[in-house]
Amino acid sequence: MVVNPDGLVSLHLMNMYFIALVLPEELNQKIFHYKKYMHEKYGCAVGLKSPAHITIVPPFWMEEEKEKQLISDIIEISKNLESFNISTHNFSAFKPRTIFIDLLANDNLNLLKTKTTLFFNSNNYNFKTDTRPFYPHITIATRDLFKKDFQEAWPYFSEKKFLEDWNVQGLSLLKHNKKNWDVIYTSQFKNL
């Protein structure tokens, strides 16, 4: 709800979005196997609601009418970025509630995060600034993983290997459809 300068109230349709690097479909399917395991064994459904991704701008609420401008701005930032490779480094955890696929340290990924944050902060978006350090990862199970289930599941994942590489080629905008996250746009970096 927004109050206009003349005092009238107007309702704006708000949706939830986030910006991420979405993994190629082949890797998404490999990761889906682990998300499905957590769902079947422990009832963890949150991880199944989005494709495998690395979050760049965490979820935020925005009026739907600003969506086209946001896509234009994603195109704008992407045309100044170059594709780069990312490598996974097995599984890790934010104990006692999150299991994820870890990534090898990557200066290009850190630079992408910094440039994206600066761009959107300087273009009148009211994205909440994440005060935690940037720790890029690919979530398997999180908010709906109970501590007791984490204690049982973590030994299984801590022994597993997950070593993959892929080339990041653009930023994706995801939108919540009241049940799941849909990729509604993916940009292309300048050297593609």
Angle at which helix 25-42 crosses helix 147-158, to 10 degrees, equals 130
Is the per-residue pLDDT at 38 higher than 90?
A: yes
pLDDT band at 123 (very low <50, low <70, confident <90, very high): confident
Predicted TM-score of the model (pTM):
0.91
Domain membership flag for residue 158: yes
pLDDT band at 130 (very low <50, low <70, confident <90, very high): confident
The predicted pLDDT at position 6 comes to 52
- Cβ neighbours of residue 48 closer than 8 Å, sequence gap 6 or more: 32, 35, 36, 39, 180
Percent of the chain with pLDDT over 70: 93
Is the per-residue pLDDT at 5 higher than 70?
A: no
Which of the 8 DSSP states describes residue 143? T
Domain membership flag for residue 46: yes
- Supply the range of the domain harboring residue 139: 2-186
Is the per-residue pLDDT at 9 higher than 70?
A: no
Is the per-residue pLDDT at 66 higher than 70?
A: yes
Q: Over range 55-72, report the average pLDDT.
A: 94
Q: What is the C-alpha end-to-end distance of the chain, expressed in Å? A: 41
The predicted pLDDT at position 192 comes to 58
Domain membership flag for residue 191: no
Which of the 8 DSSP states describes residue 76? H
Mean pLDDT taken over the chain: 91
pLDDT band at 18 (very low <50, low <70, confident <90, very high): very high
In angstroms, the CA 25 to CA 85 distance is: 16
Q: How far is CA 36 from CA 70, 73, 146, in A?
A: 32, 34, 16
- Cβ neighbours of residue 97 closer than 8 Å, sequence gap 6 or more: 142, 143, 145, 147, 150
Q: Which residues pair with 182 in a beta bridge?
A: 175
Helix (H, G, I), strand (E, B) or coil at 49: helix
* Domains identified in the chain, total number: 1
Q: Over range 63-70, report the average pLDDT.
A: 94
Cis, peptide link before residue 155, omega less than 30° from 0? no
In angstroms, the CA 100 to CA 180 distance is: 19
In angstroms, the CA 140 to CA 192 distance is: 30
The predicted pLDDT at position 113 comes to 94
In angstroms, the CA 142 to CA 135 distance is: 15
Domain membership flag for residue 192: no
Is there a contact between 128 and 28 (Cβ–Cβ < 8 Å)?
A: no
Q: What is the CATH number of the domain that holds 40?
A: 3.90.1140.10
The predicted pLDDT at position 78 comes to 94
The predicted pLDDT at position 108 comes to 95
